[in-house]
Chains A and B, each alone.
Chain A
């Protein structure tokens, strides 16, 4: 059986792995080049309430975010979503 990787990216409200999901993306390596991947704005509800919830459903965590450093003079500046978790499943390639 040929395995392919599926990547689920969950952004949480804070670094607790049981914190609420605030953003999500899914990239499916098992789908063909012509398949429509997840698009910006195509879902209203997160697939999992938290990273811990996704782990219970068989997702393996590939990456935990490094906690942010708050530089003096820029303590209140923000940018990208900081608490980003990358999760993986390996599944059979689609027929």
Chain B
């Protein structure tokens, strides 16, 4: 008897959460044996994309691949990767920033995977992100004088935690308050095809999806929260591959013919 085919694609709810928050975080997602192999390579200073077969195995792991295929298509394009190493006892945080340069694409996005091969409780300094910040037009460190923002969140988790970030998400490395070195492997991939209808699109116009796209959960947005929902609803149309679906606040995409 053949094995049942497992669908590793993102659900519509997961995809809507990515559109709302600019990231998906899966704690302890990568299996322990892969984490151990990667961590050993990192400690041996060979934990890089061009040197570690274990790192490649993480991104070939079907559940990870299914997520990347849902976001970027069947054949994502390698952009760059980096092993971020924060030594024990480092007191200074990185300043808030968005990577690369202001992106001129209206909807297309790259995905930055952040993978932790070992447990990363808060005191080890896992990356700090600002959920919902991915659709703002800022230039790299032009947000560098901000220090604390309501809703900021550290990517704390267990070994095998992996986060998938929209390229525009604000983030920064954090101090490492323990003695052990903290590792984070980052892989940036570009879309290999138009990012339209790549996930499991069942239920894209459901009340649950509307409540996610329309939510005002990110309190730091203040007065701009409504404007943000319009951008989200446009991105939702794009990733759904359906220019008629309208999850916008008060249906403004339809009402205003946007």
In the assembled complex, the CB of B137 is this many whole angstroms from the nearest CB of chain A, namely 4
B92 located at the interface, meaning its Cβ lies under 8 Å from any Cβ of chain A in the complex? yes
Whether B222 pairs with A12 at a CB distance below 8 angstroms is: yes
Within 8 A of B (CB), among A55-93: 75-83
Residues of chain B touching chain A, judged by Cβ–Cβ distance below 8 Å, are 91-96, 128, 135-138, 142-143, 145-150, 152, 154, 172, 174-175, 219-224, 227-228, 230-231
**Residues from chain B with Cβ under 8 Å of A19 in the complex:** 222
In the assembled complex, the CB of B25 is this many whole angstroms from the nearest CB of chain A, namely 16
In the assembled complex, the CB of A45 is this many whole angstroms from the nearest CB of chain B, namely 9
**Residues from chain B with Cβ under 8 Å of A75 in the complex:** 227
Q: Mark A30-51, 1 if CB is under 8 A from B, else 0.
A: 0000001011111110100000
A23-B148, A78-B227 known; A39 vs B222 contact (CB < 8 Å): no
In the assembled complex, the CB of B234 is this many whole angstroms from the nearest CB of chain A, namely 8
**Residues from chain A with Cβ under 8 Å of B147 in the complex:** 23-26, 38-43
A79-B137, A80-B136 known; A46 vs B150 contact (CB < 8 Å): yes
Count of A residues near B, CB < 8 Å?
A: 32
**Residues from chain A with Cβ under 8 Å of B227 in the complex:** 75-78
**Residues from chain B with Cβ under 8 Å of A26 in the complex:** 147
- Among the listed B143, B149, B154, which residue makes an inter-chain contact with A22, where contact means beta carbons less than 8 Å apart? B149
By beta carbon, the residue of chain A nearest B149 is: A23
User: Which 9 residue pairs across A and B have the least CB separation, nearest first?
Assistant: A13-B222, A25-B147, A39-B93, A76-B230, A40-B93, A23-B149, A41-B128, A14-B223, A22-B220
**Residues from chain B with Cβ under 8 Å of A25 in the complex:** 145-148
Bound-complex Cα distance A42 to B93 (A) = 9
Binding site secondary structure of chain A:
loop
- Ordered by A's residue number, 13 sampled pairs between the chains whose C-beta atoms are within 8 Å are A13-B223, A14-B222, A20-B219, A23-B220, A25-B147, A39-B92, A40-B93, A40-B147, A40-B148, A41-B174, A44-B148, A80-B136, A80-B142
A38-B148, A41-B148 provided; 16 other pairs, C-beta below 8 A? A19-B222, A22-B219, A22-B222, A23-B146, A23-B148, A25-B148, A39-B91, A40-B93, A41-B147, A42-B148, A77-B227, A77-B231, A78-B136, A78-B228, A80-B136, A82-B223
A40-B128, A40-B172, A41-B93 known; A81 vs B152 contact (CB < 8 Å): no
Bound-complex Cα distance A13 to B146 (A) = 15
**Residues from chain A with Cβ under 8 Å of B148 in the complex:** 23-25, 38, 40-44, 46
Whether B224 pairs with A82 at a CB distance below 8 angstroms is: yes
Bound-complex Cα distance A25 to B224 (A) = 20
In the assembled complex, the CB of B68 is this many whole angstroms from the nearest CB of chain A, namely 27
**Residues from chain A with Cβ under 8 Å of B222 in the complex:** 12-14, 19-20, 22, 83
In the assembled complex, the CB of A78 is this many whole angstroms from the nearest CB of chain B, namely 5
Bound-complex Cα distance A77 to B154 (A) = 26
Bound-complex Cα distance A41 to B63 (A) = 31
Bound-complex Cα distance A44 to B227 (A) = 26
In the assembled complex, the CB of B151 is this many whole angstroms from the nearest CB of chain A, namely 8
